[in-house]
Amino acid sequence: MIDEKAFTSFQKRLGITFINIDLLRQAFVHRSYLNENPSFHLEHNERLEFLGDAVLELIVTDHLYLKYTKATEGEMTNWRASIVNSKMLAQIAGDIKLNDLLYLSRGEAKDASGKARQYILANAFEALIGAIYLDQGYKVAETFLNTYLIPRLPEIIEKRLDIDPKSRFQEIAQEKVKTTPHYEVLEESGPDHAKWFKMGLYIGKELVVTGEGESKQEAQVDAAQKGLQIKNWE
């Protein structure tokens, strides 16, 4: 059970005092926790996540439409996708120390890492938005996102982070060195259900950097992101 003081501290940190504190608690209840604690008085957070996802998209869309009056539909769609993806939401969840409040099974708490933990955090963040919306209304949810999420948009637009790292690296490489980069598998390990890949990113014969991931695509993206940093092409 999460200490009551943790929820009090969390609300103070956000500047939001919930009328129904159980809505806040429910936002952090992962399905696995109920498997071990079937008598727990709250449901898991998936319905709140569903609602929060819709509120999140509407607030971000509203901001983009009103702020960037010259942007095309395609540009706004890409920008929105870049700021509401699980990686970004998990980062913000980490910033506000949401992880400390999660109700997880012992196994999930021990084993969840990498992408699995990223999804849990992102989903809980969306559930939190849903809880704020139900308890405090649209304006408070909007203020919350304007404080913690929307400020990330200018960097996404300025640095063209809405374009995936592989496309950005290829575009810049073709512009600067007139060469199309390519990727090669350097290592492959693990059973079929849990593969791990190490990919090399090459410009010509030069190995720029290596990337790792649970699929070739994920390892390529990891390598491209590292390559942008190493080449100072961010």
Q: Model confidence over 75-85: pLDDT tens digits?
A: 999 899 889 98
111 is an active site residue: no
Q: Catalytic pick from 49, 53, 135, 142?
A: 53
The pLDDT value recorded for residue 108 is 77
The pLDDT value recorded for residue 111 is 67
Fold agreement (4-158, 165-230): no
User: Average pLDDT of 101-106?
Assistant: 91
* pLDDT at position 233 over 90: no
User: Average pLDDT of 104-110?
Assistant: 80
Give the C-alpha separation, 223 to 202, whole Å. 10
Domain covering 165-230: architecture: 2-Layer Sandwich (3.30)
What percent of the chain stands above pLDDT 90? Answer: 74
CATH top-level class for 4-158?
A: mainly alpha
49 is an active site residue: no
- Tens-digit pLDDT profile for residues 111-131: 656 677 889 999 999 999 999
- Tens-digit pLDDT profile for residues 165-197: 888 899 899 999 999 999 999 999 988 878 899
The pLDDT value recorded for residue 161 is 75
The pLDDT value recorded for residue 130 is 98
CB contact at 8 A, 32 and 44: no
Strand partners for 185: 199
Q: Catalytic pick from 49, 126, 142, 162?
A: 126
**Domain spans in the chain, listed from the N-terminal domain onward:** 4-158, 165-230
